[in-house]
Amino acid sequence: MKAWVHEVFESTRRYNMLDFSFLKVCLFAMGVLFGVYFSSFFLSYLPVVWIVAILSFLYLIVRTFKRGESNVAREE
């Protein structure tokens, strides 16, 4: 399993902007489909879904704009 995960991570290093665009569109479409098919289930957990969405958004913003050693190490 670890070898497969490593292989997937290595293959994503070769992604270009178009590949990431397709990935984002795919994930968005899958999210909409899940929302359509399981709307009654997700409505009962709406506050939890909002909290997860906000926290994950804030995490990505911090990781994107944070300057520090972790970002410098990737550039090398």
Instruction: List the one residue out of 27, 16, 25, 15 whose CA is nearest residue 56.
Output: 27
Rounded CA-CA distance 61/66 in Å is: 8
Ordered by start, the domain boundaries in the chain are: 1-38, 45-76
Report the C-alpha gap between 13 and 8 in whole angstroms.
9
The pTM of the whole model exceeds 0.85: no
Write down the pLDDT at residue 63. 87
Average pLDDT, the chain: 87
Confidence grade of residue 73 (pLDDT, cut at 50, 70, 90):
low
For the segment 20-30, the average pLDDT, to the nearest whole number, is 94
Please say if the pLDDT value at position 64 is more than 80: yes
